[in-house]
Amino acid sequence: MNPTTTGPGNGHSRAAGRGGAARREPFGVRLRRAMDTRGPLCVGIDPHAALLADWGLGDDIAGLERFTRTVVEALADRVAVLKPQSAFFERFGSRGVAVLERAVAESRDAGALVVMDAKRGDIGSTMAAYADAFLDPSSPLFSDALTVSPYLGFGSLRPALDRARASGCGLFVLALTSNPEGAEVQHAAGGDGRTVAATVLGHLARENAGEEPLGPFGAVVGATLGNSLAGGTDVDLDIGGALLAPGIGAQGATAADLPRVFGTALGNVLPSISRGVLKHGPSGEALRKAAAAEARLMAEALA
């Protein structure tokens, strides 16, 4: 991984980010470059109570600030992607959201791409408001990409799809998640016989058509899924966008599982690890060493 602070990821200055969407490279271009130069790794920022305690920190705003600052200072200048889980900040109210705002800005300034893990999903003006909150360059929570849920119908995501494209940002759409409960929805078949997951992936492929080297719209596909990838044979992971792959580490998947799960789409996989790296804190140096080791493992598995 590249330890320099000249970020390969964001492709613009912070000033250009304010109303400068026209000058921003597309998300897929920036993500491909970040993965190629810093290593194919996304590290979650998940300050849940148990992890704060493991670090010797209180489950309070001071602990949240210390944890978040340590992770950002240790990793933002060297990993491709940081993925803050918004719920762990929102639970502290406005002060927690303020910590999240600083983390997003400082991570992007250091060159990391920021994927906001908020899993938003709604319709009409409400979906548009979520898009404004996370994908509008004038927002204090402006991120490079946002996780979203398509389970009010893929068309409900249209405001976020349009906002992301206009702002040079991306989306990661829940398709085949790593939690076992997801199968009851994602593996269900519609009237055309296709699974819900396959339908979502098909929509993403159409949205990404013609985009190089990656389209702006990726899917969340769990690395834990193994041979039962979709409960059927109708899933095509070659969607032209990145595949965010959670489930490595604490949920049981390893780098060695990736080729079996992702097949011909392996080159577009962005492995996501949280506790596997964060458990090495609060030492910043230990966090850096853990992230570097994981990035090497992932690069070898994806080669």
SS3 state of residue 83: strand
CB 206 within 8 A of CB 161: no
| Tokens matching residue 3 | 């330890």
State the first-to-last Cα distance of the chain, in angstroms, to the nearest integer: 15
Residue type at position 81: V
Of 258, 204, 200, nearest to 41 by C-alpha is: 258
Residues 237 and 243 sit within 8 Å (Cβ to Cβ): yes
Q: Tokens for 77?
A: 């200048």
Measure CA 301 to chain center: 19
Query: What does DSSP assign to residue 77?
Result: T
Joined tokens for residue 31: 């993500």
Please give, one letter per residue, the 3-state secondary structure of 179-195.
CHHHHHHHCCECCCCCE
For residues 103 and 22, give the distance between their C-alpha atoms in angstroms, rounded to a whole number. 24
Rg (CA), the chain: 18
Give the integer Cα–Cα distance in Å for 120 and 147: 7
Q: Is 267 helix (H, G, I), strand (E, B) or coil?
A: helix
Considering only CA atoms, which of 220, 29, 13, 198 is closest in space to residue 108?
13
Q: Which residues belong to the active site?
A: 119
- Put residue 294 in one of left, alpha, beta given phi > 0 → left and psi -120 to 50 → alpha: alpha
